Amino acid sequence: METSSLLSTPNLFPVYQPIVDRDLSVIGYESFIRGNDAKQVLEGFTSPSLDKMNQIVSMDTLCKQLALEQYTSDTPLFLNSHPYSVNPFPPTLPFPKQHDLVIEITEQAFLHDEPSLSIHVEQLVARGVHFAIDDFGFGHFSLPFILNIQPTYIKLAKEIVHSCNNEKSLDVLKRLTEPFREMGVNIIAEGIETGEQFEQMQSIADAFQGYWIAHPRRLATSKLK
């Protein structure tokens, strides 16, 4: 299916998964795309090619637009940004007024066009947009990248959360993240699937996300129930 037809299809819709603090109070939602065409869209995102960059950027923008238009909570909305989208929030998108906006970004985006991305990040920060480093600890990341973005949040990859199942590994992760917490960065543990993982991450993370807390759903509100 061509991008032009996907852009007009009704078979894509956003769902929202809550991010909570230690008291299980909702502090924000991350958006995901579902629907009959979602599988094809996501496959294009995970197996991208440079010759399809424009299509990918168009679909990334559409996913963000849908998430913004249907968001119903007054808590921050976390939006993923594809690495090929050098401008994490194009001017064609509606800027939210009723809630804060957090753009999740990975180091791969920095590798494609560092100067352009840096300019857009600075402009968005000036407008009050916050940034989160996604999938920290799994894949590529570098200290210069994080220092350049100056994120409000760092999201621990679920693979890291699941592998920290003893005191030694938890201590290593705590030492790794402590400098960022001293800088004022909030640590979010993704992939929380059991109560035990939630308890283990208490000494490391400030916030939590995963199926044990709640599955993604169509409407986002300020409460879990």
The reported pTM is: 0.87
Give the pLDDT band (50/70/90) at residue 2: very low
Check pLDDT > 50 for residue 83. yes
pLDDT at 46: 65
10-24 average pLDDT score: 91
Give the count of beta carbons closer than 10 Å to the beta carbon of residue 99: 18
> What is the rounded distance in angstroms from the CA atom of residue 51 to the CA atom of residue 61?
18
Q: What is the pLDDT of residues 188-202, one digit of tens each?
A: 999 999 999 999 999
pLDDT at 111: 60
Using a 10 angstrom Cβ sphere, with 0-12 exposed, 13-18 middle and 19 or more buried, the burial of residue 82 is buried
pLDDT at 165: 84
Give percent of the chain with pLDDT exceeding 90: 55
**192 against 35, higher pLDDT:** 192
pLDDT at 3: 45
Best CA proximity match to 147, nearest among 176, 107, 189? 107
Best CA proximity match to 213, nearest among 225, 205, 221, 200? 225
Give the pLDDT band (50/70/90) at residue 28: very high
Check pLDDT > 80 for residue 169. yes
Q: What is the SS3 assignment for 140?
A: coil
Give the pLDDT band (50/70/90) at residue 70: very high
Give the pLDDT band (50/70/90) at residue 215: very high
Q: What is the pLDDT of residues 101-145, one digit of tens each?
A: 999 988 666 566 677 788 888 999 999 999 999 988 876 667 887
Using a 10 angstrom Cβ sphere, with 0-12 exposed, 13-18 middle and 19 or more buried, the burial of residue 153 is buried
